[in-house]
Amino acid sequence: MRDIVFWMAVALIFLLGVLATKTYDNEFFFFAGYAVLQATIMAVAWNILGGFTGYVNFGSAGFFAIGAYTSVALHKALEPSMLVLLLVAALLGGLVGLGTGYLTLRLRGVYFAIATLAMAIVFETFVTNWQYVGGATGAYILTPETVLFFDSYIEFLFALMLFLALGAVAIARHLQISRIGKGLAAVRDDEIAAECTGVPTLRLKLVSTTTMGALMAVAGVPYPFFVTYVDPLSAFNLVIAVNAIAMPMIGGTAIWYGPVVGALLLGSIQEIATVTISSEVNVLIVGVLLVTFIMVAPQGIVGLIRDCWRRRHKRG
């Protein structure tokens, strides 16, 4: 029953999004919407590992850039369709996630965190020295004027991103409510106890890192077409990594819709702040909010609301 409600809501949101591209002309809305949706995928993907198992990934920007540079390299070589780009990027991102996880997840959690950071910098150095995709100076991408039945390319990208974001949310939800999710929660709460009762902890953690890596790479695929110019500094931007951590932490890490709440809220604030104040202030806001929430409300907004609701329920 809850499944039916969920899937109907997903279908409705997607249809409304596509309808918006037909009825709404303001291009800025779609640019801003694209940015918020990209952040949503990153946040949801980060939470599949960070929130469900308690392992911190600092290298989100690295996974994102794998997707972005898969796009740049393949587009330059073969100009395949978007679907092919997405599949290849998901495969590569998943493999890197699996590899990083396999190397470090048997150690303490902190080593995984540092290794992800290391992975991002190694890739950045590699891409900076790879002349085929533009090296340090970056690469330009020419986008087609229109695609399918959309009036402009940004409307197509917006609809694509909406589809991907909904897909990411569905995957995260499925992972949490299925048997795997129970195992992951056991890993987060007490890994040794979980291992002792027969939960295959390493395999579950590897499922998480692989899914996370694949989703983050997918989020990066349309990026070169969105900005039309990619260089290592923008693709590996630290802001991407910080947002991927801040949004789930602020929204709430314990449940699949926590990062969605965080991403929609924080993403919208950022879009408004970038336009009205300045981008530095906007970045500062994220940092301060992140630290404040971790210290004062570690359960995030979702946790706060749930606490309020419970308290009122008890009294009544």
Partner 1 sequence: MELFLNAIVSGLLLGGFYAAVALGLAIAFGQLDIVNIAHPAFVIVGSYVAYMVNSRIGLDPVLIGLLFAPVFFVVGGAIYRVYYASFERTGQEALSGLAFFFGLMFIIEVLLIMIYGVDYRLVAAPYIGSTWRFGPIAVPLRMLVPFVTALVMTAGVYLYLSNTFTGRAILAVSQDRLALRLMGADPIKIKQLAFGLSIATAALAGALLIIIGPVEPSMNRQYIGRVFAIVVLGGMGSIGGTLVAALILGVAESFVATFYGPSWAPAVAFGILLITLALRPQGLFGRY
Chain positions contacting partner 1, by CB under 8 A: 50, 54, 56, 58, 103-104, 107, 109-111, 113-115, 117-119, 121-122, 124-126, 128-129, 136, 238, 242, 245-246, 249, 253, 280-281, 283-284, 286-288, 290-291, 294-295, 298
- In the bound state with partner 1, the residue whose beta carbon lies nearer, of 3 and 190, is 190
Alpha-carbon distance 165 to 226, whole Å? 16
Length of the chain: 316
Q: 68 is written with which tokens? A: 């972005």
- In the bound state with partner 1, the residue whose beta carbon lies nearer, of 136 and 275, is 136
- In the bound state with partner 1, the residue whose beta carbon lies nearer, of 200 and 298, is 298
Measured from the CB of residue 56, what is the shortest distance to partner 1 in angstroms? 5
- In the bound state with partner 1, the residue whose beta carbon lies nearer, of 81 and 129, is 129
- In the bound state with partner 1, the residue whose beta carbon lies nearer, of 109 and 167, is 109
Alpha-carbon distance 264 to 37, whole Å? 8
Alpha-carbon distance 172 to 181, whole Å? 9
Q: 197 is written with which tokens? A: 């009762």
Alpha-carbon distance 234 to 211, whole Å? 24
Measured from the CB of residue 275, what is the shortest distance to partner 1 in angstroms? 18
Measured from the CB of residue 175, what is the shortest distance to partner 1 in angstroms? 18
- In the bound state with partner 1, the residue whose beta carbon lies nearer, of 28 and 126, is 126
Measured from the CB of residue 116, what is the shortest distance to partner 1 in angstroms? 11
Measured from the CB of residue 241, what is the shortest distance to partner 1 in angstroms? 8
Alpha-carbon distance 243 to 200, whole Å? 31
Measured from the CB of residue 265, what is the shortest distance to partner 1 in angstroms? 17
Cα–Cα distances (Å) from 293 to 36, 135, 180, 272, in that order, read: 20, 38, 28, 21
DSSP letters for 207-219: HHHHHHHHHHHHH
Cα–Cα distances (Å) from 117 to 217, 242, 268, in that order, read: 16, 12, 27
